[in-house]
Amino acid sequence: MKIASLGSTRKWIPVLFTTLVLLAAIATNPAYAQDATMTAVTPNPSTVAIGDTITFTATVTDTAASPTTPTGTVTWGDGSAGGTFSSGGSCTPTLASSSSATCKTDYTPPSVAEGVTITATYVPDATHLTSSGSSTLTVTLRTTSTTVLPGSATVIIGNTITFTATVADTSSGTATTPSGTVSWSDGSAGGTFSGLPCTLSSGSCTVTYTPSTTPGSVTITAMYSGDSTHATSSGTSALTVQTPAQAAQDLINAVNSLNLPHGLTNSLDVKLQAAINSLGRGNKGATSNQLNAFLNELSAKCCNKPPAKPLTTAQDSMLVADAQQIIKAIA
């Protein structure tokens, strides 16, 4: 019995030896081993605004001496940052060369301005080993622009003027409406703003500005403070602050520029000059009367209706509005 068992064992020795030799060959021969790979992610580094998308490309390369093209899949991750990848976060590489393959994904970041690490992991095929690569992504606030209307304006000392700030989302991708507040400044010119805080509604807010008693040029600045997804921005308006007398002189210049009949131009100028003289004497009552006489003459000479009148409706409207602003300022 023992002799039969020994003979049976001897019969299997050659088979066992052959198997061991084959396993050793597989372990030491590159022809039988899986090739190492390298995975690179581009762009790297990269930047994207909240709400926009960015495309990443993974390139998987066989780094062996006799490379072949990797197949398999690539999975994507953002370290649980909360963003989303297209195609469920995986893609199948396509041939790029005899030793590499590429695939792409579109990434939408979370609604937080922060740094995110994007990782591509190659899930290997039967002849290639796994590898991974990463990209450093910076998620930024969406850019904005702030516009102030009117962009340029004139106000008479004693009057007020209204400014409106409109904040727009200027980043690519899906725009969203900025929220938050706008602060205002006149560059220490001494005026005051009312209607604060200026809180955006549908991207806009409005304030009323009262200038100081000093005439001159003033820069009105609106500064948007930003919100959780939008960056700050600012806009300006060029404001001219006038005395009532300066405004009346501008009105004389406007009359003279209209090429009206000489007699009408003279008559209107006389009334306006009388108003300026009264202002110089500090007589607001007389100034008001002279400006009202100016308005009455405009009414009598308007507006191209039979019998023909020398003033057009547009000219009349301009002169009336300017005169009324002077009367309002001295009231």
219 shares its domain with 165: yes
Q: What is the pLDDT of residues 110-145, one digit of tens each?
A: 999 999 999 999 999 999 999 999 999 999 999 999
Is residue 190 situated within a structural domain?
A: yes
Kindly report the average pLDDT of the chain as a whole number.
91
- 3-class secondary-structure state, position 30: coil
Q: What is the mean pLDDT of residues 60-85?
A: 96
153 shares its domain with 210: yes
pLDDT of residue 22: 44
Domain CATH number, residue 101:
2.60.40.10
Nearest C-alpha neighbor of 269 from the set 253, 286, 247: 253
Is residue 323 situated within a structural domain?
A: yes
Is residue 18 situated within a structural domain?
A: no
Are 155 and 241 within 8 A, CB to CB? yes
95 shares its domain with 185: no
- 3-class secondary-structure state, position 105: strand
Nearest C-alpha neighbor of 326 from the set 243, 255, 217: 243
Separation of alpha carbons 3 and 66, rounded Å: 52
Q: Give Cβ neighbours of residue 172 (< 8 Å, ≥ 6 apart).
A: 49, 52
| End position of a domain, from candidates 92, 116, 140 | 140
pLDDT of residue 303: 82
Residue 125 has φ and ψ, to the nearest 5°, of -95, -165
| End position of a domain, from candidates 140, 174, 207 | 140
Tokens 């205002």, residue located: 184
Q: What is the mean pLDDT of residues 298-308?
A: 81
Residue 290: both structure tokens together? 């002279």
Separation of alpha carbons 236 and 250, rounded Å: 24
Question: Beta strands 46-49 and 131-140: pairing type?
Answer: parallel
48 shares its domain with 133: yes
Is residue 6 situated within a structural domain?
A: no
Alpha-carbon dihedral sign for residues 164, 169, 170, 174:
negative
Instruction: Identify the burial level of 305 via C-beta atoms within 10 angstroms of its C-beta, where 0-12 means exposed, 13-18 middle and 19 or more buried.
Output: exposed
41 shares its domain with 129: yes
pLDDT of residue 8: 54
pLDDT of residue 13: 54
Which residues constitute the domain of residue 179?
Answer: 144-242
pLDDT level of residue 164 (50, 70, 90 thresholds): very high
Residue 220: both structure tokens together? 């009105």
pLDDT of residue 33: 80
150 shares its domain with 86: no
User: Could you tell me the pTM of the whole model?
Assistant: 0.81
Separation of alpha carbons 205 and 114, rounded Å: 29
Question: Beta strands 54-62 and 37-42: pairing type?
Answer: antiparallel
Instruction: Outline where 95-243 has alpha helix (H).
Output: none
Residue 224: both structure tokens together? 């948007």
Separation of alpha carbons 193 and 236, rounded Å: 15
Q: What is the pLDDT of residues 195-216, one digit of tens each?
A: 999 999 999 999 999 999 999 9
In total, how many domains does the chain have? 3
Separation of alpha carbons 145 and 166, rounded Å: 8
Type of residue numbered 157: I
Instruction: Identify the burial level of 31 via C-beta atoms within 10 angstroms of its C-beta, where 0-12 means exposed, 13-18 middle and 19 or more buried.
Output: exposed
| End position of a domain, from candidates 207, 226, 242 | 242
Q: What is the mean pLDDT of residues 154-181?
A: 97
Is residue 8 situated within a structural domain?
A: no
Q: What is the mean pLDDT of residues 181-201?
A: 97
261 shares its domain with 307: yes
Type of residue numbered 189: A
148 shares its domain with 226: yes
